[in-house]
Amino acid sequence: MKLLLVEDDDLLAESLAETLQDEGYSVDTATRMRVADALMATEDYALAILDIGLPDGSGLDLLQRWREQGHRLPILALTARDTWEDKVVGLRRGADDYMTKPFHEAELLARLHALLRRQSGGLAQRLTVNGVQLDEQTQEVSTDGVTWHSLTATEFRLLRYLMHHPDHVHSKVLLLDQLYTLDQDAPAPNLVEVYIGRLRRRLGKHIIQTRRGQGYVFASR
């Protein structure tokens, strides 16, 4: 699952990006409004974390423009502006949640998970589709609710994306885009086949189906 982090403080951006990557997300980082705007126009993000005070403009203006353009992804505003009036303005201009700096990473992650759960229509802490249960905190998977298996970081990112988008056909290129950030070397498309094969050995062959010439589908039933 791919996130956009818009933060002009380099140290904070690097630290937060590492935390999010440890949680199994791939993260593109932008330190300027124009870069964030260009990324939003070309990439497919599940959620954005947006600093309001950016060197080349207001994050609130960017937020409002994204909403007017029809971008529906959850957006968490992250800012040092901490008055209730600031929060009201941020939420009214399109933010789904509003956090002030300094913040505890655990609280930010909890809010981020809540936004993503609502976005996908799920309410439970564990994601369950077609008998497969994925614990997003421990990054473990189970097919019977009793025996749990640990996943590698890439296996977890791939399975979580597929389970959040069941019954959709996902091409190899799209899946690679969700697994790796823009600043990483582009991996070979057949790497997706390798990880799909690993997941099938854990989940059963019928769960992730191949659509020849199109991609893969996580069947919801």
Separation of alpha carbons 86 and 91, rounded Å? 9
- What is the Cβ-side half-sphere exposure of residue 122, based on CA atoms within 13 angstroms? 20
Tell me how many degrees the CA angle 24-30-17 measures, rounded to the nearest 5.
25
What pLDDT is recorded for position 186?
64
Taking the whole predicted model, whether its pTM rises above 0.85 is answered as: no
**What pairs with residue 1 in β-bridges?**
none
Evaluate if residue 122 carries a pLDDT over 70: no
What pLDDT is recorded for position 81?
87
Q: What is the pLDDT confidence band of residue 118, given thresholds at 50, 70 and 90?
A: confident
Q: What is the pLDDT confidence band of residue 166, given thresholds at 50, 70 and 90?
A: very high
Asked whether the beta carbons of 6 and 30 are under 8 A apart, the reply is yes
pLDDT in tens, 28-74: 999 999 999 999 999 989 999 999 989 999 999 999 999 999 999 99
Asked whether the beta carbons of 23 and 105 are under 8 A apart, the reply is no
Q: What is the pLDDT confidence band of residue 182, given thresholds at 50, 70 and 90?
A: low
Evaluate if residue 208 carries a pLDDT over 70: yes
The DSSP annotation for 61-114 comes to HHHHHHHHTT--S-EEEEES--SHHHHHHHHHTT-SEEEESS--HHHHHHHHHH
Evaluate if residue 10 carries a pLDDT over 90: yes
Separation of alpha carbons 138 and 61, rounded Å? 37
What pLDDT is recorded for position 205?
84
Percent of the chain scoring above 70 in pLDDT? 95
Separation of alpha carbons 153 and 176, rounded Å? 14
Evaluate if residue 117 carries a pLDDT over 90: no
